Chain A
Amino acid sequence: GQQLNQSPQSMFIQEGEDVSMNCTSSSIFNTWLWYKQDPGEGPVLLIALYKAGELTSNGRLTAQFGITRKDSFLNISASIPSDVGIYFCAGNGNAGNNRKLIWGLGTSLAVNP
């Protein structure tokens, strides 16, 4: 099925470092969502973006909805061990009544204490 291009695929960083990951799409989206998934659990919503150019923060996390509406990024500042997990971006187009979320393949984050 259709997927977003999410990068990087994995990251291994030191505690305290900042992290940046992004997603790009070939089509325009009206919504960008960022989720985190811990092992054995379902994804948990971190940030939702609904407007082009929107910049939203949730604690140490900041995400932006790209101006072109075809990309989004997520930044994590001052990483801590509990940030470990897989981060997914997801987008929602507006083709008629199509509300299916399109997902990136995830960025696996490992944090070295």
Chain B
Amino acid sequence: KAGVTQTPRYLIKTRGQQVTLSCSPISGHRSVSWYQQTPGQGLQFLFEYFSETQRNKGNFPGRFSGRQFSNSRSEMNVSTLELGDSALYLCASSSRGAGVTDTQYFGPGTRLTVL
């Protein structure tokens, strides 16, 4: 079974631009979560989507948004990029429904650099 895939793997943008990152979960997984990883803050939860609905949200500004499609693929968008948005953005998928703890499997991440 193929793992979680993320595209692109690397991205360089300038301040003020916007960016869209893509994630394809493991086949059959319906939950997709996004995380921002920086050396000083570790992994910070952005949001989770399940069956095309945002189910949980972290403490990030509205510039960070996401969506999920009917095939469970997910995208996240960051508008008006700031230098501090430079990070590794990780996507994780899991299989189970709401209210059940389950295990998340991560993709390799998209390394975003904002100049």
Interface positions of A (Cβ within 8 A of B): 1, 3, 30-31, 33, 35, 40-45, 48, 50, 88, 90, 92, 94, 97-101, 103-106
Can you list 17 pairs linking A and B with CB atoms under 8 Å apart? A1-B44, A1-B45, A30-B101, A40-B109, A42-B107, A43-B43, A50-B101, A88-B43, A97-B56, A98-B56, A99-B98, A99-B99, A99-B101, A100-B48, A100-B56, A101-B43, A103-B44
Question: How far is B88's CA from A43's CA once the two chains are assembled, in angstroms?
Answer: 12
- In the complex, the answer to whether B106 meets A3 with C-beta atoms within 8 Å is no
- Chain A residues with CB under 8 A of B101: 30-31, 50, 92, 94, 99
- Chain B residues with CB under 8 A of A99: 48, 55-56, 98-99, 101
- B54 interfacial contact with A, CB 8 Å: no
**Bitwise interface map of B from 50 to 91 toward A, beta carbon under 8 Å scored 1, else 0:** 000001101100000000000000000000000000000011
- Chain B residues with CB under 8 A of A44: 106
- The smallest C-beta distance from A40 to any residue of chain B, in angstroms, reads 7
Contacts known (A40-B108, A99-B56); A106 close to B42, Cβ less than 8 A: yes
- In the complex, the answer to whether A42 meets B106 with C-beta atoms within 8 Å is yes
Task: Give the number of residues in B that approach A within 8 Å (Cβ atoms).
Answer: 26
Contact of A42 among B4, B58, B99 (CB under 8 A): B4
Q: 6 nearest interchain CB pairs?
A: A42-B106, A103-B43, A105-B42, A31-B101, A100-B45, A43-B106
Contacts known (A100-B58, A104-B42); A42 close to B103, Cβ less than 8 A: no
